[in-house]
Structure 1
Amino acid sequence: MQITGVWLPIITPFKDNKLDYQSYKRLIDHYTEKGISGFIPLGTTGECPVLSDYEFEEMIEKTMEYNKNRLPVYIGVGGNCTSQVIKKIKIAEYYEIKGILSVCPYYNRPNQEGIYQHFKSIAEETPLNIIMYNIPYRTGVNMENETIYRLSEINNIAGLKDCSGNIKQTAELLMNPPKDFSILTGEDLLFFLTLTMGGQGGILSSAHLKTEQFVEVYNKIKENDLEAALKLWKPLYDFIPLLFKEPNPAPVKYCLEKLSLIDSDEVRLPLTEISDQLKDKINSIILK
């Protein structure tokens, strides 16, 4: 079964440098009612690199507790040491999650065979569904389409979060998609384009805001009502760049605190809170 729709890579709320579970429960309850397809905690937007192993497991536990099986959950589990990624997946397997989102190994810059073997090894060690995540501007290496096609033949490799940064590569993949494989954009500005070219959906940090509109864009395109979808999409397209003007998820957290969905817009170092200039712009454009 394909993975479709708008997926929320949910933030991790902090307060006084601790995980803020009161705010987290509020977020889960809020977004469950908005029409999204599911949650993806512990991704980049969830500031996964700054969480301890204990916090990693506790976040999974709290997600499942607060979600109460209302929506499917995929957990961000990635890294640049294959054996360590497999160990973390074994922890995630204790919970009733649908699968994992796993980024291409970063920093050590494997070749295409290394990327293939990394994901193949992971897939062989878990029954969970795997969404691969290609984001070369963060990892230093691009997963080429040929590698994606090879990996898509593995049963539990179910899809791709595409942030290749190369519209030609993305278009070629969408025009010749692997069978029974979901192509989800992680480039929020390419959501409309991805859907109109046959993609299955998006994993969108900016869908923390104006969530119903993102969902409605998806629904209208699936109903072949492109005119209505484009009308909904234009105002979304205008505000998305503001949320990425400074490192994600700091601008999103600022908005969520202003909307009283979280108690603090705190991020952990090396991220810092957003500048006063960006706050002014967000206040006048997004939060007006």
Structure 2
Amino acid sequence: MASQGGPRFSSLYDLKEELGRGAFSVVKRCIQISTKLEFAAKIISTAKLSQRDMQKLEREARICRRLKHPNIGAQFLLAFSVTGGELFEDIVAREFYSEADASHCMKQILESVNYCHQNNIVHRDLKPENLLLASKSRGAAVKLADFGLAIEVQGDQFAWFGFAGTPGYLSPEVLRKEPYGKPVDIWACGVILYILLVGYPPFWDDEQHRLYAQIKSGNYEYPPPEWETVTPDAKDLINQMLTMNPSKRITAAEALKHQWIFVSCLNFSFPYPLCLTSYVDNYTSGQGYSIWSIYFISVFESSDYFYTIEPEFLNNQVVPTV
């Protein structure tokens, strides 16, 4: 553990410009002096946090220390800069998008979710905004980010009751206030896969109570013309992910063996619907959403990777105290 007599942040990293700011934190680009690698640091003012927020921060740090996977973007204190932006922004920018592309993306998402579940971690907030690309190059790795709502569970037990997540991706059991577990992440994967294939979500309404009623009833369809060209295997996987009974819902490990995911090369492809552009605009505009805030995970003082950051080094910005 880095103590007050241990290494100082300024002796290890060269802090650069600010990337973003929140109520209790600031994110800055930084360069590791020894390797010249570029990172992003999220610096949290623990003095401003409530006891409940401190507990959430400790839990997030504990979870992130346990997860080390190529399709998970969370790191300790620092994160490699994720320069590719959101997965969906990349899709919109393409002139042509294939079902094989969607399968490749979903495979990476499922691999990260399966890894979390193997480690008894439930993300609880899977959504497009939390799927990032490692770079802007074609075929860049998809990274799962933001473990702020993640929880630790005991195996496959359904023991959590807390209402957490994003409205369009909440599972029926969460909305019904029933105990839940890992299957809530699979439900969200089903929603994401639906969007990946046609550009709009399976459940949608401007009124939240009507949206929740749709989800609790499992009321979704495959309307023409866009769904007419989607393969039956893709629809079958969605159906298994959006199974109402969480005990019967497909698991991440099972989904990775599904025909639509397991077959490495799908020849069928289609032009991506233009409606995705408006979908992304609706979901990422006007909601106080800042993309930098999901790129980076910092940790509490108990981490071996926590360093004291000298106030003068931050140009008099508020910083955590140790």
Superposition TM-score, scaled by structure 1 size: 0.28
Asked which structure has the greater CA Rg, the reply is 2
Superposition TM-score, scaled by structure 2 size: 0.26
| Higher relative contact order (Cα pairs below 8 Å, separated by 6+ residues) | 2
